[in-house]
Amino acid sequence: MSTLESQDHKDLRTAVAALARRHGPGYDRATLWAEAGKLGYLGVNLPEEYGGGGGGIAELSIVLEESGAEGCPLLMMIVSPAICATVIARFGTAEQRRGWLPGLADGSLTMAFGITEPDAGSNSHRITTTARRDGDDWLLTGRKVFVSGVDIADATLIVARTEDARTGSLKPCLFIVPRDAPGFGRRAIDMELQAEERQFELTLDDVRLPADALVGSEDAGLLQLFAGLNPERIMTAAFAIGMGRHALARAVDYAKTRQVWKTPIGAHQAIAHPLAQAHIELELARLMMQKAAALYDAGDDAGAGEAANMAKYAAGEACVRAVDQAVHTLGGNGLTREYGLGKLIAASRVARIAPVSREMILNYVSHQSLGLPKSY
């Protein structure tokens, strides 16, 4: 890592880790979010002219990874500063940037992101939430599911589709929908997953929005959408790596002190080797995440797309195996509340299935990287 990260990056890791360690696994999300925002960590990727740190996704991923490694991941970092703020910074109007970016940077404003639909899943081309013009306004109608943190967000960036009068085809556009907009409803989804941020189903019943709710151009299509989805995959990788590191650290500490026979259990290769393998896999996933972030921050969207998908896949797999091995290392203690690993069994699966499943990533790599024919 010393050959890949600057001293500034190392210092950022150290500072964020110290902050997260003070809060620990029993953290209060709102308190940690506010403190991280005040210290400039939430907006480290945003332009300095709007109160950000002037960095990129590389720096933001460090913040999420290190907070997760200390047991207090901030899931909304994937959404608010990484997706929404990035899209607004790149494509928003001057008024949208002035109105949203300073608050998103310091954490005083939060924005959710709605793309997934009940009948679309991972196929963003099947989105049916539509936006139609009504004079100078827009009317949005549709449904979204598995939208994180809508109850704590000031607005939600909604992916809808407008109709191209020239071709009759539907194309994606992005709209900022205020939390209290008439016709904008939400219902909490009852999840087995234990997380600070809840999941919601959204309904949009002719939600009327002014013309300036549209982010960027209605003709940009997928360009604007994927400007936010690549950071989402990179940050999901950071989320998974941080969680995997946290689980692995708890298991290593336990294996160093737990003694059943004459030596600590960590002296036995049946315990030591799987933990070593988990560490290797997490480090390899981090390398791909760093590559993806570097490509994205350099403006190589195409290259970042491939690397971001690979990073998300590798991190998700590494996280699940690290958590599983940590639980097995602790045995029965791995499922007690005292050690806090049991709740990670469900949480670790999130990185496999969201925001895009590992199978869809394998489809992407087989088609885009290897040139194999599509089956769909």
Domain termination residue (choose one: 59, 79, 109): 109
Domain with residue 66: its CATH number is 1.10.540.10
In single-letter form, the type of residue at position 143 comes to: R
Domain termination residue (choose one: 182, 215, 248): 215
Residues 312 and 84: their CA atoms lie apart, in Å, by 19
Query: Are 103 and 238 in a shared domain?
Result: no
Residues 18 and 24: their CA atoms lie apart, in Å, by 10
Domain termination residue (choose one: 178, 200, 215): 215
Helices (H) and strands (E) in the chain, counts: 11, 8
Query: Are 233 and 357 in a shared domain?
Result: yes
Both tokens of 252, joined, read: 């290593």
Q: Is residue 156 part of a domain?
A: yes
Query: Are 102 and 116 in a shared domain?
Result: no
CA 298 to each of CA 15, 104, 122, 292, 301: distance values in angstroms, whole numbers, following the listed order: 25, 22, 27, 10, 8
| Residue ranges making up the domain that contains 362 | 222-369
Both tokens of 336, joined, read: 């007690």
Both tokens of 341, joined, read: 């690993």
pLDDT tens digits in sequence order for the chain, 376 residues long = 345 789 999 999 999 999 999 999 989 999 999 999 999 999 999 999 999 999 999 999 999 999 999 999 999 999 999 999 999 999 999 999 999 999 999 999 999 999 999 887 666 667 889 999 999 999 999 999 999 999 999 999 999 988 765 555 667 889 999 999 999 999 999 998 877 789 999 999 999 999 999 998 877 667 787 788 999 999 999 999 999 999 999 999 999 999 998 999 999 999 999 999 999 999 999 999 999 999 999 999 889 999 999 999 999 999 999 999 999 999 999 999 999 999 999 999 999 999 999 999 999 999 999 999 998 8
